[in-house]
Structures are given as C-alpha cells and as structure tokens.
Amino acid sequence: MAVLVGVTPVASSNSAAQESCDNPPEIGVYWSCCDKRGENLSNVNLMAANLSYSNLTNATLVDAYLLVANLSYANLTGANLSGAKLAGADFDGTNLNRANLTGVTDLTASQLRHAANLQGVIVSSLDLGNFDLRGSNLANATLSVANLMNADLSDTDLTNAVLAGANLLGAKLNNANLTGAVLVGARNLKESQLRSASALQGVKLSNLNLKNWNLSSLDLTGADLGGGNLTNADLAYTDLIRANLSNADLFGASFLGGNLNGANLAKTNIADFQLRGASSLIGVNLSGTTLSNSDLSFLTLPGVNLTLADLVNTDLRGSELSSSNLAGANLASSNLTGADLAGANLAGANLTGANLTETNLTGANLAGVILTKALLTRANLNKANLTGIIDLTNVQVRTVANLQGVNLSGSNLSGFDLNSLVLSEADLSRADLSDANLSNADLTNANLAEANLTNANLTESIQKNTILKNADLTGTKGLLPIQSREE
C-alpha cells in the first residue's frame, strides 16, 4: 500500500506538468521543463514566463518579449532570438550554443557570463562595450561588427570566433585564445592586443594594415596575412609555417630567423635579403613573385613553388631546389651552376642564356623548356624529361655529363653527333635522328620505337635490348641483327 500511495502523486504531478506545457504562450506562462524544440514563438509575449530547464533547441523567438523571463538551465541551442527583448531575463546555466542574438539591445554582461555555454553564439552588431567577459568560452562565436570597445576578453576562448569588422578599441585580450579567429576588417586592433593573446595559430588577419608592427617571435602557424600591409613589420624569429602572405606588401619587413616552411608568398614584393634571413624556406610558395637580379645562391629551397616567377639574372648557384616547381618561370640569364634541381618541374620555363653547369637535373621535367644559348656543361640529365624542348643544340648535348634514361621522345636530333654518348635507358621514340652519328654510343635498353634513323650511323654502338619497333631504318649503318640485340 505504501508503494501505491507513493506512485499516485507522481503521476498526477506529471500530468499537471504536461498540462502546463500545453498552455498557450502568454505573459507569465509556466513552461518549465517543457519540450518546445523547433517551435515558432516569434513576436510572442513571454514576459515573466518560466522557461527554466525547457528545451528550446532551434526554436524561433524572433522579436519575442522575454523581459524578466526565467531561462535558467534552458537549452537554447540554435535558437533564433534576434531582436528579442531580454532585459532582466535569467540566463543562469542557460545553453546558448549557436543561439542567434543579433539585434538584441538590452543584453548585459552579467547575463552572458552566467550562461553555461556560449560556443557559437551569434552576437553580430551587438553593443558589448565595457562588457566583462573574462574567461568566457566564445569558441566559434560570431561577433562580427560588434562593439567591443573596452570589453574585457581576458582568458577568453575565441577559437574560430568571427570578429570581422568588430570595434576592438581598448579591448583586453590578455591570454585570450585567438586560434583560427577571424579579425578581417577589425577596427582599432593594436599590436599590443595581438601580442597579449595566448594563441594566434591560424588567425585571420588578411588585408589589415600592420605597417611597422612588432610581430617578432610569435607563433603564426597557418595564419592568414594575405593582402595586408606589412611594410617594415618585424617578423624576426616568427613561426610562419603554412602562413598565407600572398599579395602582401612586405617591403622592408624582417624575417630574420623566421620559419617560412610552406608559407605562401605568392605575388609579394619580397626581396632576396629577406629570404636569406629566414631560418627555413622548405616548400615556400613564391609563385608569380619577382626576384629578378636577386642573390639566392646556396639557399635551401626544396619543394619551393616558383611557378611563373621572374628569376631573370638571378643567382641560384649551389641552391637546393630539389622537387621544386618552376613551371613557366623566367630564368633567362640566371646562374644555376651546381644547383640541385633533382625531380624539379621546369616545364615551359625560359632558360635562355642560363648557366646550368654541373647542375643536377636528375628526373627533372624540362618539357617545352627554352634552352637558347644555355650552358649545360657537365649537367646531370639522368632520366630527365626533355620532350618538346626548344633550341637544344648538338653542342649542349655533348657537354652534358649524364644522359642515361633521358626522355627526348619526339625531339629533333637530325644530324646530331652523339658519338660515344651513354644513352642507355633513354627514350628516343619518335625522335628525328636522321643523319645522326650514334657510333660507339651506348643504347642499352634505349627506346627508339618509331624513330627516324634514316642514314643514321650506329656503327660499333651497343644495341643490347634496344627497341627499334616501327623505326625508319632506311640507309641506317651499323645496325645489328635482331638476335644480337637481344639478351
């Protein structure tokens, strides 16, 4: 009997609670613990209503009257409260994750500080001047164009928060986490505010005026500074790994000891002395950059992107450029003596008058490269791709140190003197070798399929496993029988 007595009131209580949840929206309505997910309550007068512990996820409360309403511990995740009247409302423990508070004019710092969750909250254009938001979690929040004048955001988590166009005059950012935060167009942002933050990785600062700013020794890994004015900025010993500085004005900026690995410097006005001062430049993007007449000798630049860069008359002696991309770059009259370009992509590059003496071009892509008057003395072209190369001369070929595995497919080598050259593994398919002298040349495993060998001289050449399928052998001299060419 005691059990039965105890159960009855609970059922009655639950029934009463359900009845109250079914009550229409009105002043003072009791909706505590009610499920109002996704409901449209726009323009409804809920003044002094009890909505504590209620579930208002994704509810629409646009222009609703919630004056002195009890919203403690309510779940307002994704709710739209834009334009709502919230004066005196109780937000103690309220979940405002991704809630939209745009256009709210009577919100106080105390209300926000008492909320349990502000992650992703939207407070665009709100007047938060002088608000004390110390220690708040505003990760992913939208504060664009908000007035944060003299607001205290110390120790605040602003990870990926959007502060585009916000007024930060006098705002405190001491120890704030600005990882991935968007500060594009932020007004009155000061150097000291950035320096006081605890984390700046991935921060978005594009198109800002940072002229003469001291950003030395900061960790700006992945930061976006593209299009900004960094004239005379101090970036000494700054970590700029994978940072975007494309189209930025870098005149006079210092990168002394800075780490620019993977940084994007495309279409900037960076100078050689600035690059030389950096501690690391692995994989840096310098595409479209003008570096003509620069001294980049003996720099370590593996994997660098120099596509379409202007490198006319640039000193690149002894530089480490392996696996770099120089497609379409203008390297006319450049000095690449002793440079390492193994595996580099130079497709379509202009090497007119360039000095490639003892340059390592192993496996490099030189398709369509212009080699007019270029020096190739003792260059290593092992397995390099020279298809479609322009202005390759017999003299250049004979001065090369290594042509093993070179790809000259379709090239015009008519009348070339290739006597005694090692062309093993070379791809000479479809090449014009008419009247060429290949006597004593090593053609082991070379591919001459469909090549024009009319009147070519192969006397005493090594023809082991040489492929001559469909080649034009009219008048060819020194051709060995098929069985002699096979292992």
Phi and psi at 213, nearest 5°, equal -75, 145
pTM of structure: 0.85
In a domain, 227, yes or no: no
> Secondary structure of 32-78 in the HEC alphabet?
CCCECCCCECCCCECCCCECCCCECCCCECCCCECCCCECCCCECCC
Report the domain count for the chain: 2
Long-range contacts of 109-114 (CB under 8 A, 24+ apart): 109/133, 111/86, 112/136, 114/90
- In this predicted structure, what is the pLDDT of residue 17? 59
DSSP 8-state class, residue 183: -
In a domain, 440, yes or no: yes
Closest CA to 372 of 345, 347, 354: 354
Instruction: Report d(CA 65, CA 85) in Å as an integer.
Output: 5
In a domain, 83, yes or no: yes
pLDDT tens track of the chain, all 487 residues? 333 333 333 344 455 556 789 999 999 999 999 999 999 999 999 999 999 999 999 999 999 999 999 999 999 999 999 999 999 999 999 999 999 999 999 999 999 999 999 999 999 999 999 999 999 999 999 999 999 999 999 999 999 999 999 999 999 999 999 999 999 999 999 999 999 999 999 999 999 999 999 999 999 999 999 999 999 999 999 999 999 999 999 999 999 999 999 999 999 999 999 999 999 999 999 999 999 999 999 999 999 999 999 999 999 999 999 999 999 999 999 999 999 999 999 999 999 999 999 999 999 999 999 999 999 999 999 999 999 999 999 999 999 999 999 999 999 999 999 999 999 999 999 999 999 999 999 999 999 999 999 999 999 999 999 999 999 999 999 998 865 555 5
In a domain, 445, yes or no: yes
In a domain, 170, yes or no: no
Range of the domain at 30: 21-122
- In this predicted structure, what is the pLDDT of residue 18? 67
Of the three residues 64, 95, 122, the one that is the final residue of a domain is 122
Closest CA to 206 of 243, 254, 256: 243
In a domain, 313, yes or no: no
Instruction: Report d(CA 310, CA 288) in Å as an integer.
Output: 7
Of the three residues 67, 102, 122, the one that is the final residue of a domain is 122
With 0-12 / 13-18 / 19 or more C-beta atoms within 10 angstroms meaning exposed / middle / buried, residue 19 is exposed
For residues 185 and 206, the answer to whether their CB atoms sit within 8 Å is: no
With 0-12 / 13-18 / 19 or more C-beta atoms within 10 angstroms meaning exposed / middle / buried, residue 99 is buried
Of the three residues 75, 102, 122, the one that is the final residue of a domain is 122
In a domain, 182, yes or no: no
For residues 351 and 332, the answer to whether their CB atoms sit within 8 Å is: yes
In a domain, 441, yes or no: yes
For residues 367 and 386, the answer to whether their CB atoms sit within 8 Å is: yes
Which CATH number covers residue 469?
2.160.20.80
